[in-house]
Structure 1
Amino acid sequence: MLVWSFLLILLLVMLNAFFVSVEFAAVASRRTRIEVLAESGVHSAAIVKTWLENPAARDRLIAASQLGITLVSLALGAVGENTFEALLAPLFENLALPAYLQRLVPLMAALPLFLSLVIVTSLHVVFGEQVPKVATLHDPERFALLAARPMRIFSVVFKWFVDILDWATRQVLSLIGLRMVGEHLTVYTVEEIKQILSESEEGGVIRTPEREMLDAIFDLGSLVVRQVMIPRTEILAVEADTPLQEIIQLTSQSTYTKFPVYEDSPDQILGIVHVKDLIRALQSPDCESCTARTLAREPIFVPETISVNSLLQQFRDNRQHIAIVLDEFGGTAGLVTLEDLLEEIVGEVSDPFDSITPEIQTMPDGLILIDGLTLIEEVNQHLKLDLQDPDYDTIAGYVLGKLGRIPRAGDVVESDGVQLRVENLDGMRIAQLSLRPLNDNPSQ
């Protein structure tokens, strides 16, 4: 008889573990993974999918699992306590106590009941609650699939009871001014998603380059074209009446494959010449007298304040990879290519013919050289600084704003604990800066 009692206790603990696992699987399972399995024809996945897609169905599933936990816990308490008390009672019946401990005899009589409660509670908590909970959270979808069919049968059998419990719950909530939550959607902010990505990186789920690219995708929406464009001073453009042979010579000396075509000044862009069009023109006997004007394609013009996401959409809609950026007065501010936008996600992509010079270089003596066109944001991120200027995007513009005049080689600006020095100029543009901490006290 005792053996059957122990087998029943084992069965009840396993049932409790089952219902606990169902409850946590319903909450922790990822809908996307279940949907993929359901679409592939897994029948149990289709059952789980209905629970996850319908908040009311999931509420009823959780209510059914709670009902199962309650019924099993009550049965485990009744069977377990009686079994262990009957097993332990003989050990204390004939226990001889000294005369001065005779007052403890009533307490000793209750000791088997107390110990049986401890044993049953321990079994219930460890094997019926904690172990199945942790195991399920490691792979909730797998257990949800295993439990789908038996849990559906249990839910159908006790549907009437679950309906009563659901109705009673709603009535109690209405009495205290609350209502059942209709949705169980978890919404994360961008910063919370970035935190999840960082934790996934620390846990080895994703690699650092993958996390950096995903972060960059979220940051892309906050960028405007002005921050990623090639400025007007760096544009290599051709005059509209430039002959074909001169354009060919220019392309052979350049790494670019597309050239803006202007008339009179770069503020009057007529179109874009593609290297592919030049090759076709060379092969055509009718194009000996062709000029940049006749070969130019119609350009896309965008304001410098347009978002990068909007520009990407325009590139898709117009099947173009390059756009001319206009300033607030209608003049040419710069140009932007699809490659510039992609580099904001994957990082700098160097052309095979480019001479690679890092934008930020650390010299052996600790001096840091910075290209003037480097974004302030990149300098801050790379050097852990907090340089801010709402009127400028590049580090050269930042120094220019601090100087308040045309820069000269050797000009120095101090800010945020560092010293920025103008090293080289390209005309009136700051081409290169040096940076060192103020406490280095460099000699001038």
Structure 2
Amino acid sequence: MILWQALALFSVLMILLVIVGWRSHKHWLSWLAKYIGKRPSARLGLSRLVGRLLLPPLHQRLLQGLLDLDRSTVNDIMIPRQAVTGIDLDASDEDILQVLKQTVHTRLPVFHGDLNNTVGILHVRNTTRFLGQQGFNKAALMQSVRSAYFLPERTPLPAQLLEFQKLRRRLGIVVDEYGDVQGLVTLEAILEELVGEFTTTTADRHTEMHATSDGARLIDGAASLRAINRTLGWSLPVEGPRTLNGLLLDRLEAIPDAPVCLRIADYFIEVHELRGHLIRRASIWQAAS
């Protein structure tokens, strides 16, 4: 089967050469690369064929990760601002200490009242000397805060990966064209887009996804659609809204005031927990094939 695919690819290339002509287009390989690059389906098919012919499974996955990375921007994988945990300098010392003790993150944004007033990034390991001390104060905390790094929401992931490397950064604050904070993106998130999850079990990372006794998945509305698809092997639509809450509100075209069920692609979804104008949780079943 692979041999026939290779012969078919070779034939297509020869036909293209005849159509384009050696003399009429000196840089035909460049032209062909641009032609394929503008068509995701053609690029995906070509990469899979080349991978099957030449690469072992691990390298095939890396190749596919590179192609997917090239088509994505930071707003596709960022943590939305509603789900961001940080240090509010306007809060009490006790509340700040509680956040530091309970956080599972290594770096936290530090702000005054709102993420739009972010003043820097705190590495949590630098705060261990504060925990359990009676003399904690915000001035001492600010000595460990590093300046924040802001980036546009439409930055391509390959470009952002290089920027993180050049600036020796691991976390950036994503802003829109008006300078309003939309979320944050980490170096780890970009690398996971390329090579997959680093942890051995999904429970280690995705505490917003729980299996239920009836075979469904109870998922937090703030969960990223891309993270859901990658973790569960699903194919929820990712063109448009980035979170489960956004997808459901987009399809319902209204904020539900009671539990509601709907079907999206091959998935049955029951919305049964709301919080204000947001869908807090929903149960999802994959339809039987």
Calculate the TM-score normalised by the size of structure 1: 0.47
Structure 1: runs of 5 or more not aligned: 1-176
Quote the Cα distance in structure 2 between the aligned partners of 1:416 and 1:424: 22
Which of the numbers 165, 183, 196 marks the counterpart of 2:50? 196
Contact 1:244–1:288 (Cα < 8 Å) also in 2: yes
Residue 151 of structure 2 corresponds to: 302
Counterpart selection for 1:340 from 189, 207, 214: 189
CA apart distance, 1:231: 0.9
Partner of 1:228: 77
Note the alpha carbon deviations across 1:136-188, whole angstroms, 9 max, x for none.
xxxxxxxxxxxxxxxxxxxxxxxxxxxxxxxxxxxxxxxxx987x99997976
Query: Using a 3 Å threshold, how does the CA distance of structure 1 residues 210 and 361 change in structure 2: closer, same or farther?
Result: farther
Between structure 1 and structure 2, the one with the greater Rg is: 1
Identify the residue that residue 118 of structure 2 maps to in structure 1: 269
Distance (Å, rounded) in 2 between the aligned partners of 1:293 and 1:258 = 14
Distance 1:410 1:279 in 2: 44
Q: Does the 8 Å contact 1:424/1:431 carry over to 2? A: yes
Is the CA contact 1:422–1:432 (under 8 Å) kept in the aligned structure 2? yes
Root-mean-square deviation over aligned CA pairs: 4.0
Do the aligned residues in 1 keep the contact of 2:122 with 2:146 (CA within 8 Å)? yes
- Alpha-carbon distance, 1:265 to partner: 1.6
Asked if the contact 2:149/2:173 (under 8 Å) is kept, the reply is yes
- Following TM superposition, by how much is the alpha carbon of 1:298 offset from its aligned partner in structure 2, in angstroms? 0.8
By relative contact order (CA 8 Å, sep 6+), the higher-ranking structure is 2
Partners in 1 of 2:107 and 2:176 — Cα distance?
A: 21
Structure with more of its chain in strand, by fraction: 2
Give the C-alpha shift of residue 261 in structure 1. Answer: 0.9
- 1:143-222 to structure 2, matched below 5 A, reads 189=36, 190-191=43-44, 192-200=46-54, 206-207=56-57, 209-222=58-71
2:225 pairs with one of 372, 375, 382: 375
Structure 2 counterpart of 1:382, which letter?
Answer: G
In structure 2, give the amino acid aligned to 1:375.
L
* Distance of 2:198 and 2:22 partners within structure 1: 56
Q: Which structure 2 residues correspond to residues 34-433 of structure 1 after superposition, within 5 A? A: 189=36, 190-191=43-44, 192-200=46-54, 206-207=56-57, 209-240=58-89, 247-279=96-128, 290-350=139-199, 355-357=204-206, 365-372=214-221, 373-375=223-225, 379=229, 382-383=233-234, 387=237, 389-390=239-240, 392-408=241-257, 410-416=259-265, 418-433=267-282
Query: Whose helix proportion is higher, 1 or 2?
Result: 1
Cα gap change, 1:376/1:426 in structure 2, threshold over 3 Å: closer, same or farther?
A: farther
Report % sequence identity. Answer: 27
8 Å Cα contact 1:321/1:338 also seen in 2: yes
8 Å CA contact 1:302–1:325 kept in 2: the answer is: yes
TM-score where L is the length of structure 2:
0.69
Amino acid at match of 1:195: L
1 CA distance for matches of 2:214 and 2:205? Answer: 22
* Cα 1:377–1:271 shift into 2, 3 Å: closer
Number of equivalent positions: 253
Partner SS state of residue 290, structure 1? helix
Q: Give me the whole-angstrom Cα distance separating, in 2, the residues matched to 1:184 and 1:304.
A: 35
C-alpha offsets along residues 416-436 of structure 1, whole Å, 9 cap, x if unaligned?
354322133455432433334
Q: How far did 1:216 drift?
A: 0.9
Distance in 2 (alpha carbons) for counterparts of 1:266 and 1:342? 25
What is the CA distance between 1:337 and its match in structure 2?
A: 0.9
State the partner residue of 1:435.
Answer: 284
